[in-house]
Amino acid sequence: MSKAGSLSDPELKQLQDIMAANAENKDFSTTLLNGLNCGGKTGPDALLEYSKVYGDLAHGNHNAKGYQDVYGNLSTVLATATRDGGMGKDWEDGLLKAARRPGDSAAGWNDNYPALTSLMGAGGNFDKAFLLKAGNDLVDYERTSKTKGEDLWGPNWSLRAGAGDPLGPLMKQMRSDPAAAEEFLDPSRNKNLTYLLKDRSWPNQDLEGKLSPDELRNSSHGMFGQVLEAGATGRGPNSSQPPVRPHDATMNRIMDTALSTLGGDKAGDQNNLAVALRRPMADMVADYVADTHDILSKDLPGPSEPGGLNATREQLLRVIRGTAEDPEVYSLIHLAETQEVARRMAEFGPEAFRDVNERPDPKFEGFVNAAGKALGALDAVQADTITDHKSDEQFKVNWKAKMDYHYIGTLANMIPGKDWLPVGDIAQRYVDVATSDWANKVNAAIDTKAQGDLSSLYTTGQSQMQVMLKAKADQFGVPGRDILLGQLTDSANVHYYTSIVQAHNAAFGKG
């Protein structure tokens, strides 16, 4: 190890073989870490030096692949040795203390924490306890430091998305460990969540809109978004794991804090949602659709059900408005809400159209009105998004292209809950007619060459409840001209329009 760049080719091969054969052996790993010596530095200081040396060699021009193998196995050594506190509290505390010390550069920035977390991200599988210890210490160190960003971490911090940001490799590890993500972001335990959501500057955040989807997803900010999603839902992004139901108290706290923090306190805060957080927040809103439907469809006197979210309707709408800058992302929320309405509608039987004192069944009428209010709120988001970009023809073209029903049909399969909360054939029929009707009307409304103005955007979802009600009436043989069916449709429309006005005034500050 100490020969590093002066290793001959056979020696490098020998070191590769030794490390590959033993990196997952705890006795070997603890012995190696305790015995490291680099230019007189020992223990954690020596490990950080070797991380820098072998990290540089792994990206060099000579035998880079061999050094990558050694570097990756050194990461595995660290993970193996620290599992279950194997190196002991004093050694771990000494490692984090060494990581906090400024490096040897004349500028005085810290290259030790990036060396530690880069090593952690190079292949080792770290246990939750060590991940949390390093993550909490790093955020605390950065949050309380007088310098930030490039001044703290050096010029590599902003060369490209995530490069040189010591938080990136930790987020990469944590995004696939929902239990660690929960504890790391739990607002009742620490200040990590609000700092990372609101106060931290992320590398190249102002350029996120120009990154490719893969670059954005693998930036440190993008990986934080995936950690946020894992912490709030109990599932890693793109995980085949069934969702957690019900959400536990920690997940609900994370979701609630994310909505209230990102939703802000006033109109205009909807413009502050970072590009990297659009998809994670849309996934989270869709995953919490029972709660978000409750918030959007009622004037709640208290927390939502079933999760007990305290975020306001306005805060939720501002977050959804932030996601709607990307129509594909917004579609996930709209489709999840449509599915939730259909699921609830399918629970009613023939009594839904029963005549009660010349009025429809009160429970069903109450559901219909609430659903109209929720769908109206989402259409207010959609209309606000397009009108905010009314002079941007390319934006409208992109929106229209992505609203194609066949494409939306593909997206429907991506909704969290599509497979694990089956809505049944009847409810799925409601979903199909509602999304088809909505998508076609959105396409027509956005086609400004034909429409001339965008006022029709405020009515694109008006008939969603109408076609769903018609489908339900057909199910029970209720004629299309039935008086009660007409009353239900009219009542839903009133709540739909009222909800649009409320959303524009209260959430977005517009008349």
DSSP 406-475: HHHHHHHTTSTTTTTS--HHHHHHHHHHHHHHHHHHHHHHH-HHHHSSSGGGGGTTHHHHHHHHHHHHHH
72-83 confidence digits (pLDDT tens) = 999 999 999 999
Q: With a cut of 90, say whether residue 389 has pLDDT above it.
A: no
116-172 confidence digits (pLDDT tens) = 999 999 999 999 999 999 999 999 999 999 999 999 999 888 876 667 899 999 999
| Number of other CB atoms surrounding residue 149 within 10 Å | 15
The whole-angstrom separation of Cα 492 and Cα 464 is 10
Mean pLDDT value of segment 488-508: 91
pLDDT for residue 327: 85
H or E stretch covering 281: helix 278-287
φ, ψ of residue 113 to 5 degrees: the values are -65, -45
285-323 confidence digits (pLDDT tens) = 999 999 999 999 999 999 999 999 999 999 999 999 999
The whole-angstrom separation of Cα 43 and Cα 348 is 67
Look at residues 386, 345, 328 and name the one whose alpha carbon lies nearest to residue 469: 345
Question: pTM (2 decimals)?
Answer: 0.92
Strand partners, 356: 359
Look at residues 348, 344, 347, 336 and name the one whose alpha carbon lies nearest to residue 420: 336
CA-derived radius of gyration, the chain: 27
Q: Concatenate the DSSP letters of all residues of 222-264 into one string.
A: HHHHHHHHHHHHSS-TT--SPPPSS--HHHHHHHHHHHHHHH-
Q: What percent of the chain has pLDDT over 90?
A: 63
The whole-angstrom separation of Cα 316 and Cα 293 is 10
Q: Read off the tokens for 128.
A: 């939750």
Please answer whether residues 306 and 291 qualify as being in contact, where contact means their C-beta atoms are separated by less than 8 angstroms. Answer: yes
424-466 confidence digits (pLDDT tens) = 677 777 777 777 666 667 766 666 544 445 455 666 667 788 8
Q: What percent of the chain has pLDDT over 70?
A: 88
| Number of other CB atoms surrounding residue 245 within 10 Å | 12
Q: Read off the tokens for 437.
A: 């009707």
Q: With a cut of 90, say whether residue 85 has pLDDT above it.
A: yes
pLDDT for residue 406: 39
3 state SS of 504 = helix
Distant-in-sequence contacts of 209-215, Cβ < 8 A, 24+ apart: 209/275, 211/161, 211/275, 215/161
Q: Of the given ranges (100-114, 124-138, 191-205), which has the lowest mean pLDDT?
A: 100-114
Task: Report CA-CA distances (Å) from 41 to 63, 95, 207.
Answer: 26, 13, 40
Q: Read off the tokens for 262.
A: 């990102």
Per the listing, tokens 């979210």 go with 309
- Amino acid at residue number 465: M
pLDDT for residue 482: 83
Q: DSSP character for 69?
A: H
